[in-house]
Amino acid sequence: MPIFDFTCRACAHAFEKLVRGDAHPVCPSCGSNDVERQLSLPTVKSETTRGLAMAAAKRRDKVQGRERVNEQRNYELHHDD
């Protein structure tokens, strides 16, 4: 299903919308149907972008792991209060 980028001409709100067939999207911000479809650029995948994505995922996982350990420790310390 194609997801397109749109900009509302009435309020300048930018949004994405799944469009099927002849359906005409409506701005979720103001309700206007005066929207303009934007040119969407394809994503580029390379070894560099893959490496950056993996590094970001590892940082995110490390932070989430620390948060889980802290929550478990707090639970164990205070569960009998």
Tell whether 47 and 80 lie within a shared domain. yes
Same domain, 57 and 27: no
**What is the reported pLDDT for 43?**
72
> How much is the pTM?
0.48
- Mean pLDDT, residues 38-52 taken together: 83
Give the number of domains in the chain: 2
End-to-end alpha carbon distance in the chain: 53
Q: Do 26 and 49 sit in the same domain of this protein?
A: no
Is residue 32 located within the same domain as residue 46? no
Query: Which is nearest to 32 in space by CA: 18, 2, 55, 12?
Result: 12
pLDDT in tens, 25-43: 999 999 999 999 998 777 7
Same domain, 46 and 28: no
Residues 6+ apart with CB under 8 A from 2: 18, 19
